[in-house]
Amino acid sequence: MKKNVGKFQSFFTALGERIKRKRKSASAVSEPVTAPRAPGAKRNLDRFTAISWIATLFVVVALLGATILYKSSRPTTYAPAPQPTETSSVTPPQGGAPAFGSEKESGSAFILRKLQLKTNIPARPRYQSVVYRVSRGDAMFSIADKFKIKTESILYVNAQLGDNPHNLNPGMELSVPPADGLYYEWKDGDTFETVAEKFNAQADGMIVFPGNDIDLTNPKVEPGKLVFIPGGSRELRNWTQDLKTMGRSNNGSTGTSDFSGNAACGGGLVGSGFGWPADAHSVSGNGYGPGHLGIDITADVGANVYAASAGVVTMAQGGWNYGYGNVVQIDHGNGYVTVYAHLSAINVSVCQSVGQGALIGASGNTGNSQGAHLHFEVRYGGTNINPYEIVQ
């Protein structure tokens, strides 16, 4: 507005000056002789100057009035002071519609928004192995679950474990593959098809896996290069074969082997149905899988161990026992044999008949064990099966 007033004032001032110059340029001959102004006499106000000031004042008043009228015609709004985000007790509407609070409560409508203190960053795929240092209390099952792979994949790529998850020790450094599968050192004469067939995998999987860095236009691998085989597998050593399944007699009914001098254990109770051999019904270490043909049940040192079903004790032996430690076997007379390992105490003897739920020992940490638990196996016809399939 100040600029507009200045422009009008300048216009009328310039107009007055131009008129004055025209008057001065006229011939002074015809002008009447004027006497000099007496001291103290009033000076006549120039007409054009007066008009310019009057016009300027009119424009200023008009602009001010228009501004005031415009401001008064708009509704007055007040911005509420910022408030901390709180959990509202208002029940959000159904169907995903936005939730509105009460205007009486807050003075204005608002949309509830859940406060999120952490930015969710999606996990990026991993194409290389990482090193994991084993801590006390770790088990192969928990490590595999942490990296979202199978336990056997960790056994495949870590030769120091010897295919035995019980060889896991605190401080050991494991190589954890980026996905389920294994690594293979390429040899002269290998092809993608022959290697894939050897490890039960797909040839295309090796070629397109980004971690292998293979040129898709000319897929080839130099001998000596380590190649990851997604989904590949190999046979793991069956450590349960070291601890043979002992049967109660040599009649072949259970598909098990007799042990020396135990033929007199024929007969006895026959099991029907299986229950949990410990008070806890949860796995604290390794679950059942290709590298671990049993389950590690939660149990402290000295906790009770029960017969899962009725039968005859065919092994009650202390010592190392191929890493099983103090161990008990029970033949249930129906083709099933159960194994209880790493015990701290044995309360039964060979050829003793036991009923389901009978106290046969106490859990412990003997043999190749890195923490107290009960290692429990179920064998049918001499072959291990998943205990979860029969325990109730």
DSSP codes of every residue in 109-150: --B------S---PPPP--S-EEEE--TT--HHHHHHHTTS-
Q: Which residues on neighbouring strands pair with residue 305, listed in sequence order?
A: 361
Q: Which tops the pLDDT comparison, 347 or 16?
A: 347
CA distance 288 to 294: 5
| pLDDT on residue 180 | 96
Confidence (pLDDT) at 266 = 74
| Per-residue model confidence as pLDDT tens digits over 332-388 | 999 999 999 999 999 999 999 999 999 999 999 999 888 899 999 999 998 999 999
Domain 130-230, CATH: 3.10.350.10
pLDDT at residue 179, rounded to an integer? 95
Q: What percent of the chain has pLDDT over 70?
A: 73
Q: What's the rounded mean pLDDT across residues 33-45?
A: 54
Ranges 24-28, 71-75, 212-216: which has the least confidence: 24-28
C-alpha to C-alpha distance for 330 and 353, rounded to whole angstroms: 9
Identify the weakest region by mean pLDDT among 92-96, 193-197, 283-287, 320-324: 92-96
Residue 221 predicted with pLDDT over 80: yes
Q: Check residue 220 and give its pLDDT.
A: 93
> In the chain, what are the domain boundaries?
130-230, 239-389
For residue 63, CA distances in Å to 7, 12, 49, 55 come to 13, 18, 21, 12
On the question of pLDDT at 51 being above 60, the answer is yes
The predicted-structure confidence for 134-171, as pLDDT tens digits, reads as follows: 998 788 888 999 999 999 999 999 999 999 888 888 89
Q: Pick from 271, 261, 260, 269: which is nearest to 338 by CA?
A: 271
The better pLDDT of the pair 9, 357 is held by 357
pTM over 0.75? The answer is no
Position with higher pLDDT, 125 vs 7: 125
Per-residue pLDDT band at 251 (split at 50, 70, 90): very low
* Of 121 and 267, more confident: 267
* Average pLDDT, integer, range 177-189: 96
pLDDT the model gives residue 6: 65
Residue with more model confidence, 279 or 36: 279
Fold of 239-389: Glucose Permease (Domain IIA) (2.70.70)
Q: Is the pLDDT of residue 263 over 70?
A: no
Contact 131, 176 (CB under 8 A): yes
Asked which of 3-12, 19-28, 54-63, 278-287 is least confident by mean pLDDT, the reply is: 19-28
**pLDDT given for residue 10 in this prediction:** 73
